[in-house]
A and B are shown apart, each in its own frame.
Chain A
Amino acid sequence: MIRDHFRIMKVDLATGKGQVMTLEGRDQVGGGSGLAALIYQKFGKPDAPWDDPEQPLIFAIGPLTGYFPLMSKTVMAFKSPYHDQYAESHAGGRSAVALRFAGLDALVVTGKAARPSFLSVGSSHLEVHEAHYLWGMEVQAVGKYLRRKIPGSGHRSILRIGPAGEQSSGMACVNVDTYRHFGRLGGGGAMGAKNLKAIVIQGDGNFSLPEGKAYAQLFAEVHQQLTKTKMMQKYHNLGTPINVAVLNELQALPIRNLKETGAPDINGITGERFAEDTLLRNVACAGCPVGCVHLGYVRLRFHDDHRYFFRQVSYDHEPIFAVGAMLGVTDCFRVLQLIDMTEKMGLDVMSAGVALAWATEAVEKEVISEQETIVPLKFGDAQNLETALHHLGTGANDFYRLLAQGAGKAAAHYGGGDYACVLGQEMAGYATGEVFFVSQALGFRHSHLDSGGYSFDQKHEDRDIDKALNFLIKDEEGRVLLTSMVSCLFAREVYKETLLADCLKSLGYGTMAEQMGELARRVQRLRWQTRLATGYNPAQVKIPKRFTEITTWKGPLDQEFLEALRLRYAQRILELGQEKAPEEA
């Protein structure tokens, strides 16, 4: 189980057969992000389009997955329908631990099934089942059918797509175990293009541990730090939605398509309000004692005679920002209803909400009309916005099909590009300023998690390009190390390099522990090389005008600083992609 190589399962959906393979490179790339890039370089087709059947879908875990708490994430890598380039998306749930217990460092899916299918894999089985009856089904319903068909309650992970994924939408997510997602950059569309409705991973193997007591002792110490100190409290108390009020106060919350950055009506959708009014309970990813997943509820009356149904809906800062603040929906139950619709459709809630915010402003400015949107769109009109999310998920007409490829693409066709809140992809929920905007616009995943630009904006008043640039590169390097292990990034304050080294050593990865810095830099380069090889040119990324029009607590945005940082960061990314590893130089 603790291996000096990688053990991967490569499945060809066209034949329904798989192959267990051994890959070298453990000490060089660790796993997760590093392993995914290594696998794409080996099996990917950088020059072929994203929906070429031979393009691989990669699910990779790391050397610490399952062995330590919060080492609970899986890295999904694929060529993205959103930008037709190499992409990563990360999710938790049970996927990572299930892969570990299935005895795999990575699952690689290639080929296209002749008919809609699902894949089931475990420590001692591999099956591709024809499943035409699941096609068209909403995400929750697919989960229910598969739970009935595949045994292993509690010890399996069910990854599935909704109607959006079947439409090859650039904003289709892969739902993981109901409440988690490989959200961004259209991983669900990549699955749909393979006729693959779902993947069930059964964690049904068990493995020996290192001899002696050192490993168990270290585990207990880490567990203690994570549960008995205040370090993780913000994640399980109010959770990430604590940011809503904080950012609103700072004038750094994107509201109504970023026309505003602070507004009094946001008080209806703060983390405090969600917790007091809607929170039912928390759940956790497997192997994480923190339990950051917050479940609220939607309760709907469907008959005059007091007949109701209810559903549990997970919420976080990003969904609340995307379908709440950005759409001007300021009632927490209404927000949960909109999140729930994106869940049914299998849409990435962030991309969908922000794209719809652009459409809503475009309607306001009469750039598009009901002819395109089918229903009238207005900020705050939750009912019609919910219908619009359904149209976006099902690809109801040409307009919604184009919007599902990104607000930028829709704006290029209809106009209104100045206010399409796109930073590489639809923006994340931080209007903190120049460093965050550049970080997301150019960053590897176009995610607020590539590097903490939003945090840098809040901590630094000066506009020092070198300092900001060094931060972006160094912070990315640190995060790449964690996503190669694969840690939840919420644990980044706990898993500092010394502790990571101790963890690796306790499992026998002494060489890796001693060369973590080199490993991180190598993976950082490898990821950029892989992305650049699929056509990315960071120098061409534009930051729409709307971002330059905002005012935060620091005052108006500094356009000169933004532009200078954008150019320098683009240059640095290109250099990183061209750098040779020390051993090759």
Chain B
Amino acid sequence: MRSRWSYVYFLFYLLLGIVLLFLNNDLSKAVITLMNVIIILVPLIGTVFGVMYYYNSREFTELLLAQPLKRSSIFLGQYFGVAVSLSMSLVIGLGLPFIFYGIFNSSAIWDFSLLLISGAFLTFIFTALAFVIALANENKIKGFGYAILLWLFMAVIYDGLFLMSLIYFEDYPLDKFSLATTMLNPVDLSRVLILLKLDISALLGYTGAVFQKFFGTSLGLIISTSMLILWVVIPTGIIYRMAKRKDF
């Protein structure tokens, strides 16, 4: 089940990469289009696959639990299995067409690798969150519902709320507030990171405009990368703790 779908996912990215390159004929433009796809699609696929995999392999998990294996290694193994295979599909699927197109000789190489790295981060983050949701909910339908809601919230609603709050509190200094809010959402954070790297302020929404100063510096880059790492580590820690306590 898992392997078949990760091939489909891989082929999808391969195709997407090829089509974009042929239509655009320009590497950095292709990277921008890709970014818009990745920012929305990667979290969605990560959540859906994570939840689906957990529920599908439940029986198998029960079989493994009766074997002399450590609980945490069963669950973390499953999580990393899903997350790594999804990120591999993303990185290889997109990487191949770009390599053939000659990304190595282009100035867009750094933008492109940043795109792939944040894509991989998003995969890990959302797969971990999906596992947390699935572990917390015995009921498949509920689990799926919460997972989709989480995605919708992070990818769409969060931005809307953010903008509304900016408009509402117009009269106050908002730099720090908006910085913090962006940091708290991995989707926004990766979007801002990539956009700033691409140096196309025209495309920046209000979300991004505030931070050009902050993220342009190496300190900003370090802080935002560590935020992304935190976003991976914390849910993974929660998986670890939940797996230790859960009854089967």
- Asked if chains A and B come from one complex, the reply is no
